[in-house]
Amino acid sequence: MKIAVVGLGYIGLPTAVMFASHGHEVIGVDVLPEVVETLARGDIHIEEPGVAPVLKSVVESGSFRPQLLPEKADVFILSVPTPSNDDHSPNLGFVTKAAESIVPYLEPGNLVILESTSPPGTTIGLIPTLERSGLKVGVDIYLAHSPERVLPGRILIELVENDRVIGGYTLESAQKAADLYRSFVQGGILQTDATTAEMAKLMENTFRDVNIALANEFSRIAERVGIDVNEAIRLANHHPRVNILNPGPGVGGHCIAVDPWFIVDSAPEESTLIRTARVVNDAQPGYVADLVTRIVSGIENPTVAVLGLAYKPDVDDIRESPSVEVVKHLSRLGYRLRLHDSHTRSEVAGMPVYGELSEAVSGADAMIILTDHREYHRLEPDDENLSGIVHRILIDTRNCVNPNLWRDAGYAVHRLGVGAPFMVTEGPDFD
Ligand code: SAJ
């Protein structure tokens, strides 16, 4: 098959190289010239384990060709962002543009697949645009929605292993798309209609958001009633039907913090719980900033070293990152900040991000772990990179460190979701 993948981001690029390495001829389309140039050299513009070597080999073999415009193909896969507007309504501008961009190239027998996470009704809403080609959807061309469900950091594995939902505009459309994904999908292929597929995807991410909101609420309650939420969660999760998630500084990424709003937008009156969960999670960065304020209030002009900016561990993605939101809050409060993240080098809130931990903690009065990168889990209090810290204050918002170890080394350790007495005296003995 000749496949055109429109949108070469975190999902489009891995999907394109998977098809290209499984016997298909793939055209990769992106509107950003720098992305196309980078990929055409065989280099990569995102951090995602395993993608770089596959990309290199498919560029070298010629089975993957990045370019700015689509061309005729058998299959068109639209894999572009679906962000929210400031009022949380869905912004379908990229999807509309992507659909318009393929109209001049459509031919009878083509299959169009929307992979972007979309509000219910988006896929069938593309029909008038696609029919500007003079072809009838469901008769001359096939249309399906197959939401991506892969976890950043494990994309190549999950593309293969996860079950895949495929919603067809017609039965034939679903069947054609199912046959195509079988090229590399080893998980189950679950066929349904397009709108149900859209909702299934939104419900998955909403389930996670609501459950993280519950964990965050438990963590606030724990501080009030004077217990360690992590210990309570560990115990509760021994129940065979309970699996409480982890509290933290908020929910980030381009998916979980955004997708529930698509449901709220579609059915506002019915979505009170979903909306509340979003509000709870969005308030979490401000809550963490207040916690910092309480802790450093005795220090004049405090400098805070911020450890971890990415929205989740071991990735470089800072989109919608709660860590960045905490940084903005702290910056507004007037603290001097020194930022560390060895995965991402972007500037954040006009401040440089240091790749070296020693640079970030030099002269700091406190350090706060916001993203639990693996390197912070491994960090030990006597690490020589920490020698430049002025006041030994550690704030852990991700249940990342062993508090007793750090306290023994003379650190004042404050942990999110841990209320007095644990906050001011010894931590619990976990083992
Ligand atoms: N988080 C917590 N506590 C937890 C789990 C996560 O605070 O217990 C936070 C993370 O730190 C992060 C955010 O939630 O800021 C989201 O991270 P994540 O790892 O839960 O999810 P994503 O956004 O990287 O990927 C999700 C996945 N969806 C589900 O797990 C239901 C993925 O499978 C989807 O493909 C992806 O969204 C997407 O593209 O929609």
User: C-alpha dihedral over 307, 309, 312, 318, to 10 degrees?
Assistant: -170
CATH topology of domain 217-415: Rossmann fold (3.40.50)
Is there a contact between 335 and 401 (Cβ–Cβ < 8 Å)? Answer: no
Quick one: pLDDT at residue 259?
96
CATH of domain 2-187: 3.40.50.720
Is there a contact between 124 and 145 (Cβ–Cβ < 8 Å)? Answer: no
Return the ligand 1 atom nearest residue 313 CA. 11
Question: Matching CATH topology for 2-187 and 217-415?
Answer: yes
> Per the structure block, which two tokens stand in for 142?
């096939």
Residue holding tokens 């007793």?
404
Return the ligand 1 atom nearest residue 148 CA. 35
- Residue pLDDT, tens place only, 322-344: 999 999 999 999 999 999 999 98
Is there a contact between 250 and 282 (Cβ–Cβ < 8 Å)? Answer: yes
CA 209 to ligand 1 center in whole angstroms: 8
CA angle 395, 401, 405 (to 5 degrees): 100
The region that residue 146 occupies, defined by phi over 0 for left and psi between -120 and 50 for alpha, beta otherwise, is beta
Give just the sign of the alpha carbon dihedral 310, 10, 203, 235. Answer: negative
Q: Is 112 exposed, middle or buried, given 0-12, 13-18 or 19+ CB atoms closer than 10 A? A: buried
Quick one: pLDDT at residue 421?
61
Which residue has a Cα nearest atom 32 of ligand 1? 151
Which residue has a Cα nearest atom 7 of ligand 1? 248
- Domain boundaries of the chain, sorted by first residue: 2-187, 217-415
**Selected catalytic residue, list 2, 72, 201, 400:** 201
Low-confidence ranges of the chain (pLDDT < 50): 423-428, 430-431
Query: Distance of alpha carbon 92 from its chain centroid, rounded?
Result: 19
CA 173 to ligand 1 center in whole angstroms: 30
The model's pTM:
0.92
